[in-house]
Structure formats: C-alpha cells, structure tokens
C-alpha cells in the first residue's frame, strides 16, 4: 500500500514499521500481523497509538468473516473513547471472481453501525491491492482525512521521563537543546519529585503550566510516574493519550531499551535530536 506496487508478500511476523509519505505528510505505519497470537498481544497497543487503522479483509474468504467482524469491532471499541479517529475499511481481492460485493461485506460485518460512533471518520472501498483497482480512491481519502487530523494534534515533547513512584528517574529522553537550559531541566525534575511525594498519593493525571512557553503533563500509576514537557500550544490530550499507551507498554516490559524505542515511536521523535539517559537504574 505504501509504494503502490504489488509484490507477493510474506506473512507479517509481529509488526513491520515503515515510514510512508502520503501527499506532503509523513506517517509512521505499523503493519500488524493478522495471526491470532498478534491480534491478542500487540494489536491493542498499536491501535491505541494510532490516528486510526486500515482494516483489510480478504473478500473471498467466507469462512473467516465472523472472525473478521469480531476483530473489527474490538478495534473500534479500543478507539471509541478516544479523540476523533479514522477507519479505512478495505474489502480486498476484488480481482478474484469469488470476491463478495461491498453490500454483502457491509451487512456481514454490521458496518452500518459505524454511523453511531460519533468520533469515527470512516470509508469502505472494494479494492484489489494486486491490480490496483480503487487503490487511488482509498489513498486519496486517507490523505485528505489524515492531513486534517494531524494538523490538530502535532506535539513535539522537549523532555520525557519515567520515574519510580518515589520520584527517582529511571529513563529520560531529552531534546538536545534542553541541555543548555538547566533551569528547565531542574524545574522539570524537581516538579516530578515534588509531585511524587506530595500530590500523587493516588493515581492520576496532572497538567501543570510551567511558563508562557511550556506545560508539563505528569501521570502516575501505583508503581511509576510518567512526565513530559510540551509546548504551551500543543495538545495535552494527545500527550496524555500517548502517555497512557506508554504506561501500558511499560507495565508489560522491564526492558528499557525496547521501552525507549517504543517511546520514541509513540512521540514520533527524531532521535538524532534527543539524548537518552537510562543509567539511573544502575545508580539506584
Ligand atoms: N488475488 C489477490 N491476491 C492478493 C491481493 N492482496 C493480497 N493477495 C494475496 O493474499 C495473500 C496474503 O497477503 P498478505 O499481504 O500476506 O496478507 P496479510 O493480511 O498481511 O497476512 P498477515 O501478514 O499474515 O497478517 C498473499 O498470497 C497475497 O499475494 C489481491 O488484491 N488480490
Ligand atoms: Mg501482512
């Protein structure tokens, strides 16, 4: 779908990460393996992270249609409580004669019920990713919708930190330029520590305006504290949403290297411009 060229694919093992350009915008695209083991483990995190999803169904496969329906609605449920999101639904393999028509697919998967999900922008296409039939219509729709969403939601964190419940940092990712601003760093660290000991007796999320240029978002679970510093005009909902996804990921892994990669992808950080510190753990 990214290149517009069909080359006979191999099954996706886990997740493939690609950068894609649609029109003048660049996207991170996650191709999720469709095997049951991936649906049960990784789908939820990536769906939460995204602006939306492209759901590709084999329109010749009558035996799996109920399973497809179940997975589709599970995915919609994950996004339903979130901000506006996109669903591009593709009935693929239209080039084959046993391909079911779009009306049948809409009925079989209850797709008309999407009209009741107010924050979903959706569209269905019958396509052949092999011959390219309707491919450009689907991509044009995607381009149009995503560029509008992205404008509203862009964030560029200056700092991100995971700390222990007592406020001791365990992983930090700081924009290089922040290193020249000791006031910003010490303010951020002492706020995290302060909130750890004073405010966060319970779990919660807090947004704190720090100056006329920045705001930080701090969030706590029973075991950890997550904090990020963003620009004053950037979307705190988006920051909170991403931090929730990171929280869940962190609860599942103790490997700080993969956590760092996950954070970088979640915030779409250009890591050339950031400094990572995860030495704290050893000091502790
Ligand atoms: N005839 C036809 N075959 C297609 C089309 N798109 C994909 N295929 C074939 O369908 C098979 C499965 O395609 P994949 O892209 O691996 O499917 P997938 O859903 O990504 O599968 P996982 O990676 O295992 O989740 C491959 O043999 C493709 O060549 C199409 O539009 N028409
Ligand atoms: Mg695949």
Ligand 1 atom index nearest CA of 128:
31
Cα–Cα distance list, 23 to 26, 85, 176, 217, 282 (Å):
8, 19, 30, 32, 45
Q: What was the pLDDT predicted at 49?
A: 82
Centroid of ligand 1 to alpha carbon of 209 (angstroms): 49
Nearest ligand 1 atom to alpha carbon 10: 16
Name the residue with the closest Cα to ligand 1, atom 19.
Answer: 34
CATH number of 15-153: 3.40.50.300
- Does residue 8 line the site of ligand 1, with CB under 6 A? yes
The answer, yes or no, to whether residue 82 has pLDDT greater than 80, is no
92 lines ligand 1 (CB under 6 A): yes
The pLDDT of residue 284 is 47
The 10s digit of each residue's pLDDT in 53-70 is 999 999 999 999 999 999
Q: What is the per-residue pLDDT for 200?
A: 57
Q: Which CATH architecture has domain 159-283?
A: 2-Layer Sandwich (3.30)
Determine whether the shortest distance from the Cβ of 12 to ligand 1 is under 6 A: yes
For residue 127, is pLDDT > 70? yes
Q: Chain-wide mean pLDDT for the chain?
A: 88
| Cβ–ligand 1 contact at 33 (below 6 Å) | yes
DSSP codes, the chain: --SS----PPPP-SEEEEEEEETTEEEEEEEE--SHHHHHHTHHHHHHHSSEEEEEEETT-STTHHHHHHHHHHHHHHHHTSSSEEEEEEEE-TTSTTPPPHHHHHHHTTGGGGGG-TTEEEEEEE--TTT-TTHHHHHHHHHHHHHHHHHHH----SEEEEEETTS-EEEEEEEGGGGG-HHHHHHHHHHHHHHHHHTTTS-EEEEEE-SSSEEEEEEE-SSEEEEEEEETTS-HHHHHHHHHHHHHHHHH---HHHHHHHHHHHTT--GGGEEEE--HHHH-
Whether the CB of 96 sits within 6 Å of ligand 1: yes
CB distance 126 to ligand 1 below 6 Å: no
For atom 15 of ligand 1, the residue with the nearest CA is 9
Average pLDDT of the segment spanning 259-278: 92
**Residue located nearest, by CA, to atom 25 of ligand 1:** 34
Domain definitions of the chain by residue range: 15-153, 159-283
Taking Cα atoms as reference points, which of 122, 89, 129 lies closest to residue 105?
A: 89
Q: Cβ contacts of residue 36 below 8 Å, gap of 6+?
A: none
Instruction: Kindly identify the ligand whose nearest atom is closest to the C-alpha of 33.
Output: 1
Nearest CA to ligand 1 atom 3: 93
**Considering only CA atoms, which residue is closest to atom 16 of ligand 1?**
11
Confidence of residue 221 (pLDDT cuts 50, 70, 90): confident
Asked if residues 235 and 210 have their Cβ atoms less than 8 Å apart, the reply is no
pLDDT value at residue 207: 72
- Fold: same for 15-153 and 159-283: no
Can you say how many angstroms the Cα of residue 187 is from the centroid of all Cα atoms in its chain?
A: 29
Q: What is the pTM of this model?
A: 0.66
Q: By the 8 A CB rule, do 24 and 43 touch?
A: no
Q: How far is the CA of 136 from the centre of ligand 1 (A)?
A: 18
Say if residue 153's pLDDT is above 80: no
Centroid of ligand 2 to alpha carbon of 58 (angstroms): 12
CA–centroid distance, residue 217 to ligand 2 (Å): 36
Kindly report which listed range (39-48, 111-120, 206-215, 270-279) carries the lowest average pLDDT score. Answer: 206-215
């Amino acid at each position: 779908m990214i290149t517009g060229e069909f080359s006979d694919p191999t099954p996706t093992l886990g997740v493939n990460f690609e950068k894609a350009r649609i029109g003048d915008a660049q996207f991170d695209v996650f191709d999720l393996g469709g095997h049951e083991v991936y649906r049960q483990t990784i789908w939820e995190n990536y769906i939460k992270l995204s602006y939306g999803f492209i759901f590709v169904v084999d329109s010749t496969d009558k035996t799996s249609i109920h399973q497809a329906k179940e997975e589709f609605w599970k995915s919609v449920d994950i996004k339903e409580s979130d901000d506006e999101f996109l669903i591009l639904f593709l009935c693929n393999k239209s080039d084959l004669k046993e391909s079911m028509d779009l009306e049948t697919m809409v009925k079989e998967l209850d797709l008309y019920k999407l009209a009741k999900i107010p924050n979903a922008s959706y569209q269905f296409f019958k396509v052949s990713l092999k011959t390219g039939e309707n491919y450009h219509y689907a991509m044009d729709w995607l381009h149009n919708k995503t560029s509008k969403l992205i404008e509203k939601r862009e964030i560029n964190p200056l700092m991100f930190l995971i700390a222990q419940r007592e406020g001791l940092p365990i992983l930090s990712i700081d924009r290089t330029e922040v290193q020249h601003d000791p006031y910003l760093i010490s303010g951020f660290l002492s706020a995290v520590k302060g909130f750890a000991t004073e405010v966060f007796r319970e779990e919660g999320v807090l947004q704190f305006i720090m100056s006329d240029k920045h705001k930080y978002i701090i969030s706590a679970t029973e075991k950890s504290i997550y904090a990020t510093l963003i620009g004053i005009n950037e979307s705190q909902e988006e920051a909170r949403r991403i931090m929730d996804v990171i929280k869940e990921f962190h609860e599942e892994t103790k490997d700080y290297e993969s956590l760092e990669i996950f954070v970088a992808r979640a915030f779409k950080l250009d890591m050339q411009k950031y400094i990572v510190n995860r030495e704290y753990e050893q000091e502790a």
